[in-house]
Chains A and B, each alone.
Chain A
Amino acid sequence: MTGFLQAVAYGLLQGGLLALVAVGFSLVWGVMNVVNLSHGAFVVLGAYVGLLVNQRLGLDPFLGMFVAAVALFALGYVVQRFVINLVVNGPIFITLLLTFGLELLLTQGMNIAFTANYQGIQTTYAGTSFAVAGVQIPVGRLLAFVLSVVVTVALVAVMNRTRVGMSIMATGMDRGAARLMGIRARHVYALTFGIAAGLAGMAGTMIGMVGTFNPASAGGFTLLSFVIAVLGGLGNMYGALAGGMLIGLVQALGGYFLSGTWVNALAFLVLILVLMFRPSGLVGKAFYSARLEV
């Protein structure tokens, strides 16, 4: 019984972190209909930025994640503004191809810069844990979980309450109409992509703190982001949170009951099951459901 509860606790904590990994991917897909295959590479790059500022400047990951967020935001903004914007109106196949190429470029670049060795960000506290009713709660994972929930809630608030958020939502719903309001669609797209990359960078630093990573981890994060985004409903940020928790739980319980190789297949099995009964995802439709182009 304790083993089961332990798996549940671990799964929920991991799920929160996965939600932070996926929320930007979902946002980009929902707002501009781009499936960003380089998202996982942004996550890993964020982990390396967190690692570098930790090793060189001694920054704690909870400070380093802001450095990673800013760096990845800048990278994301530039990539969207000057590369993806060129083809964003094209068929989704073209953007898939482009972001796939970007992912290869980034992972290969990281291989050269950081080697393919597994690394982790060391802290004094992340590995420690405390017990609640016999269940061990790792401190690092708990902190990362809390951060993920806070960031997701904050993101929703930014989207619904601020001027920038309104412009992103409007552009996602109907780009042509948004432009008629004077909203700079290209800038908004770049901002959206930048925000998504920044969040990926944050998530990456957290992942580096609670575990290990290498450039080849990128593909796995993209895949999980895909599953979680579809589960939660495209562009739906709370949906990403719910989807992340579900996948975290499924993976942890799968690991508890089944042998290792089943775990990844389980995520997709859950995806198929959820979509059979709720085609628009766990939390229902995102506000971008009726998309119109100019």
Chain B
Amino acid sequence: MRQVLEVHNLSARYGRVEVLWEVDLFVGSKEIVSLVGPNGAGKTSLLRALSGMASSSADVMSFRGKDLRGLSIEQIVDVGIAHVPEGRRLFPGLTVRDNLRLGGWRTHNQDVSRVVELFPKLGQRINQVCGTMSGGEQQMVAIGRGLMGEPDLIMIDELSMGLAPVVVEEIIDVLPDIAASGTSVLLVEQDVDAALTTAERAYVLETGRVVMSGQAGELLADPRIQQAYLGIG
């Protein structure tokens, strides 16, 4: 499989506090990869490092052959990485349509029809102000906004945050379509069951280090995962 994102020996710090150590990670083309781990493990920090929102150092941090090290947030967006941040960070006073259009700002993409196809609920609410929508709908807008720039990789932080399980399922079910159409997915998720069921591969992050990685199915069957995250055994 062709790799789009490749990271070797990445570390990151906030001031003098190191939060990520020697992280190795890759994401293949059209692949869904999950990143799981307990609170404070550094999942958000890793995504922020990858999108340039936090500084980091790495031996290799490249995307489709382009070196990401030292690039600004905007330059990393240009390379084709979309980041749906923790907390979604929608423009709350703007409508769904305007939020989506801003997602396509860089690529001059104003056509929201593909997003509406993926999330039909947004079709009826296209003129609604985002701040007044339910959490699930807001998450759909956030992911849709990320997709508007037609990225090769979309990184989604805490997809399920604050959402009911049925809503999470509804959104997660769309991820394979997104991946199949050429946008790889790097999913940070607290709901380990959902994350490992959807993804092809996964990484387990604990206190800033990758402690396990492999095929999602194998991790799901691993007793250590079952005990620590799934409450089995």
> Quick check: B85 and A182 within 8 Å, CB to CB?
no
CB within 8 A of B91: which of A177, A179, A182, A294?
A: A177
Contact residues on B (Cβ < 8 Å of other chain), bracket:
20 to 34
> Quick check: A166 and B73 within 8 Å, CB to CB?
no
With A and B bound together, what is the CA distance between A53 and B60 in angstroms?
57
What's the minimum C-beta distance from B65 to chain A, rounded to whole angstroms? Answer: 20
Which one, A101-109, A141-149, A168-176, is touching chain B?
Answer: A168-176
Give the nearest-CB partner of B142 in chain A: A177
> Quick check: B91 and A180 within 8 Å, CB to CB?
no
> Quick check: B91 and A174 within 8 Å, CB to CB?
yes
> Quick check: A182 and B89 within 8 Å, CB to CB?
no
> Is B208 close to A, CB under 8 A?
no
In the bound complex, residues from chain A placing their C-beta under 8 Å from that of B78 are 182
> Quick check: B89 and A294 within 8 Å, CB to CB?
no
CB within 8 A of A183: which of B82, B89, B105?
A: B105
> Quick check: B89 and A177 within 8 Å, CB to CB?
yes
Chain B residues 125-150 with CB under 8 Å of chain A are 145, 149
Give the nearest-CB partner of A166 in chain B: B102
> Quick check: B89 and A181 within 8 Å, CB to CB?
no
> Quick check: A182 and B98 within 8 Å, CB to CB?
no
> Is B170 close to A, CB under 8 A?
no
> Quick check: A176 and B149 within 8 Å, CB to CB?
no
A contacts with B, residue count (CB < 8 A)? 22
> Is A66 close to B, CB under 8 A?
no
In the bound complex, residues from chain B placing their C-beta under 8 Å from that of A153 are none
With A and B bound together, what is the CA distance between A74 and B85 in angstroms?
35
> Is A184 close to B, CB under 8 A?
yes
Chain A residues 60-107 with CB under 8 Å of chain B are none
With A and B bound together, what is the CA distance between A163 and B83 in angstroms?
21
> Is A292 close to B, CB under 8 A?
yes
With A and B bound together, what is the CA distance between A292 and B149 in angstroms?
22
What's the minimum C-beta distance from B130 to chain A, rounded to whole angstroms? Answer: 11
> Quick check: B91 and A170 within 8 Å, CB to CB?
yes
> Is A14 close to B, CB under 8 A?
no
- A166, A177, A180, A290 pick with most chain B CB within 10 angstroms: A180
CB within 8 A of B98: which of A166, A289, A292, A294?
A: A166
> Is B37 close to A, CB under 8 A?
no
What's the minimum C-beta distance from B74 to chain A, rounded to whole angstroms? Answer: 5
What's the minimum C-beta distance from A176 to chain B, rounded to whole angstroms? Answer: 7
What's the minimum C-beta distance from B201 to chain A, rounded to whole angstroms? Answer: 25
Given contacts A179-B73, A181-B149, A182-B78, contact A174 B105 (CB under 8 A): no
What's the minimum C-beta distance from A89 to chain B, rounded to whole angstroms? Answer: 14
With A and B bound together, what is the CA distance between A290 and B89 in angstroms?
11
Chain A residues 160-197 with CB under 8 Å of chain B are 163, 166-167, 169-170, 173-174, 176-185
Given contacts A173-B93, A174-B91, contact A179 B74 (CB under 8 A): yes
- Give me 8 A-to-B residue pairs in the complex whose CB atoms sit less than 8 angstroms apart, sorted by A's number: A167-B105, A169-B91, A177-B91, A179-B72, A180-B53, A180-B73, A180-B85, A181-B105
Q: Which residues of A contact B (CB under 8 A)?
A: 163, 166-167, 169-170, 173-174, 176-185, 287, 289-290, 292, 294
